[in-house]
Amino acid sequence: MSCPDLNVDSIADLQAVLARIPYAGLIGAEVREHDGEPLFVLPYRASNIGNVLLPALHGGVIGGFLENAAICHLMWAHEASVLPKVVDFSIDYLRSGRPQDVYASCEIVRQGKRIANVLLTAWQDDRSKPIAAARAHFLLA
Amino acid sequence: MTNSKATRVTMTETPKRNAEPVHAPAFFAQIMQWFEQLPHCKLLGIKHLSSSAGSVTLELPFSDAIIGNPQTRVLHGGVVTTLIDTASGSAIYTLLSAPEAVATLDLRIDYLRPAKPDAPVYCTAECYRMTEHIAFTRATAFQDDVSKPVAYAVGTFARTPLGKEGA
């Protein structure tokens, strides 16, 4: 995808990107600024529940939220106008996702010419108690 | 802990296997109905297509809401992750005959080619090794051609007797 009006120069621009990604809207992913970096937020909604007994968020939603966070973070870091493509995604589920907001941050571990390696962390009320950690490779167009 | 049929089954641990029926058909049907009714699975419309001992195939219908790239209309990887997680978890229950909790420990997904819009995505997942505490799974997501998978994944799940979740 490349459209000139989609250039991401700031975290505010990322909100416009998110608004154009239908799946991001389906799960309700948002972005805000924290210490000059994007902080991704997944406000709680009942339709993201994947276990009604615990209850807990669907693991796939947490994975999708992190993958989407990586896409947006890479666009922000590169002031890109093209969505990066996921090559592989590996996620460790550390705690069950309780029915409340989820936060995520993304760290670019290694950035090559075409491929980026990223590290993702998801947490709820306590950042020192992550609910999931993921690593992924993306192809930058 | 139900380790009756589940641990007694002779697992091939290789992809080729003769399809035997699920261990407890009535119980499994109940579990699959429960899976389909989970709020997020219901939102996506994930449906059970077929199953045998150790294997399940689910269908994810197309909808505009699961698009990841508005220009190419290719599906979001995240929705494929959800399909694979759900299929892998449900494959475990084909080998069980009583309720227990399974929690995803990890999932590794290779995105082999883009998932095209306007067509469903299927996922066949296998539980190819089950121990007292851990289930090992692998899964293939595909569209019209099973020999051209959209994604391939492996996962591990923790088995927990009912009433001891979160312990």
Q: Is the Cβ pair B40, A65 closer than 8 Å?
A: no
Alpha carbons B82 and A63: distance in angstroms, whole number: 8
> Among residues A45, A69, A53, which one has the least CA distance to residue A135?
A69
Residue of chain B nearest A82, judged by CA positions: B69
Q: Using CA atoms, how far apart are residues B22 and B41, in angstroms rounded to an integer?
A: 22
Segment B17-71, tens digit of pLDDT: 568 999 999 999 999 999 999 999 999 999 999 999 999 999 999 999 999 999 9
pLDDT of residue A81: 77
CATH number of domain containing A24: 3.10.129.10
Domain around A123: 4-139
- ipTM value: 0.94
| pLDDT at site B5 | 44
Cβ within 8 Å, pair B40-A58: yes
Of A20-29, A76-85, B28-37, B42-51, the one with minimum mean pLDDT is A76-85
A43 touches chain B (CB under 8 A): no
Interface of B with A in 64-83 (CB under 8 A): 64-72, 75-79, 81-83
Give the pLDDT of residue B98: 93
Find out whether the peptide bond into A55 is cis, omega within 30 degrees of 0: yes
pLDDT digits 0-9 by tens, A51-61: 999 999 999 99
CB count within 10 Å of CB A94 equals 15
Whether the Cβ atoms of residue A1 and residue A8 lie closer than 8 Å to each other: no
Section A63-81 average pLDDT: 93
Total number of domains in chain A = 1
Q: State in words which class domain B5-11+18-160 has.
A: alpha beta
pTM comes to 0.91
Confidence check: pLDDT of B146 > 80: yes
User: Hey, are the CB atoms on B82 and A58 less than 8 Å from each other?
Assistant: yes
